[in-house]
Structure 1
Amino acid sequence: MKPIIHRSGLSVAGLLVAGGCIAGPAVAAQAAPVTTAPVASVHTDKGGRADQADKGGRHDKDRRAGRRAERMVGIEYQAQPNFYYCGPAATRIALSAQGKALPQDEVAKMLGTTEAGTDSALDTTRVLNELTGGRYRTTEIPGPAAKPEEVDRLRADVIAALDEGRPVVANVKGTAVDTDGHPQSYEGGHYLTLVGYRDGGDLIRIADPASPEGEYWMTLEKVANWIAERGYSS
């Protein structure tokens, strides 16, 4: 079986041209970092609202099962300051929800991040557990596309983690289109943070340390297929 992920970091060329990512060796040690300064924004926890049924009746089903129809976890968003800090930035966003707003440099050191990126979702799980008490686990989606049961597993994992106030760190690869029609493209791999859900988990809120949008919504199935051949910490 292939490793859960390869190293992932934004290429300088990708940042300037298409927002893509690479896996493997860094492009150049002298490459210029992202010029956008980290931006902070804080969510407020909106709580669950299960009193409005969607077309499929999922909200009513969730209410009967005692589940929330939506959840937004309070986080402090920061953009990554260079082409290879997606792992530290995404992990730091997740940590901020749990009162661990560490500098990205400190998180990068713990992850073992280099200019080649961050090795594995196993590393994000390890660091999250070291700093927050050990409730995270790593899940792999090994195939080229997520199976229905893997989509359902992701939904359950995201809901369970976010209901406990723990954002999920996901490693993704390829291009996926958010609900506003913006393509988010990371052909070599990228880390980002899942910070909310609505419609019973059909839609996922993503805090992306490299995207111009910063945060956006995406369907669960697209997120699962984005993670395919990689893994996530939940």
Structure 2
Amino acid sequence: TEAAPTTPVAASVTQDRKGGERELGVRYEAQPNFYYCGPAAARNALSVQGKNIDVDGMAQRMGTTEAGTNSINDITPVLNKETGKDAYQSVEIPGAKADDKQTDKLRGDIVTAIDEGHAIVANIAGTATDTDGTTHSFEGGHYISVVGYRDNGNTVTIADSANPNQASYRMSVDNLADWIATRGYTA
């Protein structure tokens, strides 16, 4: 693969945005085992910035075991170290469902992050339905990357390391916010 262009991200973002939508280019990799979803989601998120990070090294820094990665708060510092700045901050959605304020904040955080050229990582749990009507179920929890948006952030593009056959799908931000509920995300 070629090196990422050295054009400032802000300049390319302005040119690429059209009609309230933006997609970042992901160099997708599936997770190598059942418990590496956190490191794999972080790797996929960092790939949009042209970074190719070893998932084993990230898993070690995140404290990932066969029980998974404990929390989004274990992922945020690794993303910040790899980007060389404090671009990422953890946000929790503590209730069983996201309220309108939390959903609006998530939408705004996604649009801002994507426009700045970086993907977000979300810790999700339970079942959610994408825009094609396909259900995605992770009762024990899972990590995904959000790599794009449409309709001013009302629909988001997800890179999911769990299944290469469903590597990318779109979901309403309302469904995503409820999927994140009881967990959190880093943007």
Q: Same fold (TM over 0.5)?
A: yes
Question: Which residue of structure 2 aligns with residue 159 of structure 1?
Answer: 111
Question: What's the CA shift for 1:106?
Answer: 1.5
For structure 1, which runs of at least 5 residues remain unmatched after alignment? 1-44, 51-68
- Secondary structure of the 1:170 match is strand
For structure 2, which runs of at least 5 residues remain unmatched after alignment? 1-12
Question: Which residue of structure 2 aligns with residue 100 of structure 1?
Answer: 51
Question: Which residue of structure 1 aligns with residue 159 of structure 2?
Answer: 207
Q: Which amino acid aligns with 2:53?
A: L
Among 186, 192, 215, the residue aligned to 2:144: 192
TM-score normalised by L of structure 2: 0.89
Matched, 1:228 2:181: yes
- Secondary structure of the 1:217 match is strand
- Secondary structure of the 2:74 match is helix
In structure 2, how many angstroms separate the alpha carbons of the residues matched to 1:143 and 1:119? 18
In structure 2, how many angstroms separate the alpha carbons of the residues matched to 1:198 and 1:99? 22
Q: Which amino acid aligns with 1:105?
A: D
Question: What's the CA shift for 1:104?
Answer: 1.2
Question: What's the CA shift for 1:99?
Answer: 2.5
Q: Could you say what the CA RMSD is over the residues aligned between the two structures, in angstroms?
A: 1.2
- Secondary structure of the 2:80 match is helix
In structure 2, how many angstroms separate the alpha carbons of the residues matched to 1:153 and 1:193? 17
| Structure of greater Rg | 1
Summarize deviations over 1:57-95 as a string: whole Å, max 9, x none. xxxxxxxxxxxx001011211110101000010000011
Question: What's the CA shift for 1:194?
Answer: 0.2
**Structure with the largest fraction of helix:** 2
- Show the 5 A alignment for 1:43-122: 47-50=16-19, 69-122=20-73
Identity among equivalent pairs (%): 51
Summarize deviations over 1:91-120 as a string: whole Å, max 9, x none. 000111122211211211121111111011
In structure 1, how many angstroms separate the alpha carbons of the residues matched to 2:106 and 2:54? 29
